[in-house]
Chain A
Amino acid sequence: MVDASESGLSVRDLTVRYQDGAPPAVDGVTLHVAPGQVVALLGASGSGKSSLLRTVAGLVRPESGAVLWDGADVTRVPVHRRGFGLMFQDGQLFPHRDVAGNVGYALSSMPQARRRERVAELLELVGLEGFGDRPVQEISGGQAQRVALARALAAQPRLLLLDEPLSALDKALRSRLASDIRGLVERTGTTTVHVTHDQDEAFAVADLVGVMEAGRLVQLDAPAQLWRHPVDAGVVELLGQGPVVTVEAMEAWFGVRVDGPVALARGALVAGDVGDVGEGGLDVEVVSARFVRGRGELEVRLPDGRLATVFGDAGRGERLRVTVDCGALVRVGSA
């Protein structure tokens, strides 16, 4: 019997270093993904998220630490025996095989009739019925990623690893395919680790989102929790939640008392006419104005030179008085 806390993927204190003496690409990461769960790893490029994924897949050997599946150490099991599916950013479809040949690649031991059936099933699953005979050079980028996904799912992997699967696609396609992926892994009950640098994609797909910075996993939380309680300024910056302001500055600028540093997320600053908000407001300069999704967004300069976003209409160079909506502040720090 496997202990419930051990079933699924466990990564223990994993460190990856590409060159001796170089800073580690993955630095002591510990992570647990329960069966059927979808975890997204979010991070800027170079944060080590892809390295972590490639190490879990078995393509990179860790310097120390272990990768376990259902409690069994698979760190030294070669890639092709791990039973983990991997999908690349650019699909890496095999150019000398057609769509069906790619999808059926992992099914080579199946009798041919059964395999054809299964390939058709998988193509239907990803919405590409009848594409089997197409050469892979002749399908679009979105279709290629669907084929790559079907190919990875064909072997019924116990863990599906997605390495920036949607990054090469346009925005509309990306959000559609993100929800498709979510639906697919839910339907097939596949445990999934999804690496991305796009927070919308991560939030759309995952049960839990992990944030990586300089090789470390700094936070792992459900999307809403992550958004409301980022652990540090790095996470705030990655999520684009605005400048982080200290307790003292909040008091000095807005006369607002907070019990820790906060991020001035969108909506946290409220514009009002000078005089309207009285003593508590801060007089700021509008650096730029733009129109985003139906309303005006202004970038204003804080007294320390950093920029924050305010909803409202004003011209560039005008001055504005802003106050704080305390309910919209994002508290930074784990406490």
Chain B
Amino acid sequence: MGRPRPARYGARDPGVWLWRACWILAGLVAVGALGIFFAAPALNLIFKGFVDENGHPTISVMAQTFQSARTWRIIRFTLGQAALGAILCLILGVPGAHLLYRVRWPGRTVVRGLVSVPFVLPTVVVGVAFRTLLAANGRLGFLGLDGSWQAITAALVFFNYSVVVRTVGATWSQLDPRRAQAAAALGAGPVRVWRTVTLPALAPAIASAASVVFLFCASAFGIVLVLGGTRYSTLETEIYTQTVEFLDLPTASALSVLQIAVTGFCLFLSGRAQRSLQRSLGDAAPSPLPFRGRRDGLPVAVTAAVVLGLLLAPILTLVERSFQRDGAWSLVNYRDLVTIPDGSGMVVTVWQTLINSLTTAVWATLLAVGLGVVVALLLSRRPTSRLGRTSLSIGDAAFMLPLGVSAVTVGFGFLITLDRPPLDLRTSPVLVPIAQAMVAIPLVTRVLLPPLRGVDPRQQEAASALGATPWRVLGTIDCAGAGPIPGVGDRVRVLHLAR
């Protein structure tokens, strides 16, 4: 028997008509927001790469950029370190996901919280922390890693470790344990069960996490700027350097085009991998496993090493430094938070800055979660028509694009695009949260999609047969069944909004 084609009904029924109209409206809002606040600015800036000073179309800038050895070095470095970062995050993060989401032990909530701290730290601060730690006179100065690419990779893993732990962990905690039990009963040892049952079931979440981490690493900005100095630059920092230091918009936009191509290709691959890996998680949610040394020993060792060595060391260094002024222990740094120190060049107190940041963050979060939920729900539909399926896979990639397009591209695009009526937002304070939300939407979407897509369609059918309207099915089956959605607010939280 083929795959059953779900029923579709004509617009005769007003309820069905309203239901469809709402989805179309949601789609338009999502596409519209993405178009105005992401595509238009980015395209506008990119367009600059294809015209000369007099406004005539040319490809000479493009050609020049691609002939330069520097460009290729930067591409190699960008992709290489992103791949390395993603692989390391997976190797370290999957055992962490097991330990923090599948096994029951006292204190796991605390460690879960601790693990997600780096994700919300500002990149510049983290960059400084790593430098402090690795500098010749720092605590880890003997490693001689100051200014090396290894330091950059370590800092990127520091940031993105929790993405893997949380994305994979959320799926893992929902996995029907009977499948593993069935495999064990067929004579498979624990390793084989993991490889043949657990791993394939986790694959969509792993692919999703890996693609997010890869894109974060590939578009890393603050970290590379602080730790890489002049020796290492990624496409992102290069775009920034070209724009801000050399005022060379055409070259910057040529690099942006390149970045979009690279990102688009990665997204295409990851989207395809995710769809082909997608499957139901089963309907029996497991209870957490008791701790068992033989099974959990390795994850404990890996996770402890990561938490202590990679996550805590820089954070503690920061705390330590905050209590020091000119080499002596002191609280003067904290006193300075509420006052404007003489000769610091600051015009507002740090507290005020903090309040401004928080306000921005709250707005950005509301926007990102609101639109992200709409996008995730849209992308989790199972359209029957070929047209529907095609637009879905295009949308899947399109809504991920902001993640991989240089924030610098979008930022400068904003300034040169949204600078005239009807939308003159250049000086408006709403610009910052909107820009941040655009970058955060793909993240919200990626967190929500795997559980939403994992909902068994027969559950929806059962609810419909019980007389539930499509709205009620959405609310009581898709949303409730997807489980970790309540956690999204906390997950996206203040996000990397400080970045």
Contact = CB atoms under 8 A, between A and B. Distances in A.
A86 B476 CA distance: 18
Contacts of B12: 76
B462 interface: yes
Interface string A78-120: 1111011110100011111100000001101000000000000
B481 to A, nearest CB: 6
Contacts of B2: 18-19, 22, 25
Contacts of A95: 283-285, 481
Interface stretch (A55-63, A244-252, A263-271): A55-63
Chain A, interface residues (CB within 8 Å), range: 35 or more
B5 A84 contact: no
Interface in B419-461: 456, 458-459, 461
A46 interface: yes
A80 B481 contact: no
Contact of A96 (B3, B4, B13, B481): B481
Given A54-B4, A59-B4, A61-B7, A96 B483 contact: yes
B1 A18 contact: yes
B461 A59 contact: yes
Contact of A80 (B3, B284, B470, B480): B470
Contacts of B477: 94
A60 B5 contact: yes
A216 to B, nearest CB: 15
A46 B1 CA distance: 7
B285 A137 contact: yes
A125 B375 CA distance: 44
A53 to B, nearest CB: 11
A105 B463 contact: yes
Interface in B452-496: 456, 458-459, 461-470, 472-473, 476-477, 480-481, 483
Chain B, interface residues (CB within 8 Å), range: 35 or more
Nearest to B5: A18
A77 B13 contact: yes
A146 interface: no
Interface in A32-87: 46, 51, 54, 57-61, 76-81, 83-86
B9 A78 contact: yes
A83 B461 contact: no
Contacts of A94: 459, 462-463, 476-477, 480-481
A79 B5 contact: no
Tell me which of A76, A80, A97, A108 has the highest count of chain B C-beta atoms within 10 A of its own C-beta: A80
Contacts of B467: 80-81, 83, 106, 155
A229 interface: no
Contacts of B463: 94, 105
Nearest to A78: B9
Interface of B: 1-10, 12-13, 15-16, 283-285, 456, 458-459, 461-470, 472-473, 476-477, 480-481, 483
Given A51-B1, A86-B462, A86-B466, 18 more contacts: A18-B1, A57-B461, A61-B5, A77-B9, A77-B13, A78-B9, A81-B467, A83-B467, A92-B461, A94-B463, A94-B481, A95-B283, A96-B483, A105-B463, A152-B465, A152-B466, A155-B466, A155-B467
5 contacts: A58-B7, A92-B462, A94-B476, A94-B480, A151-B466
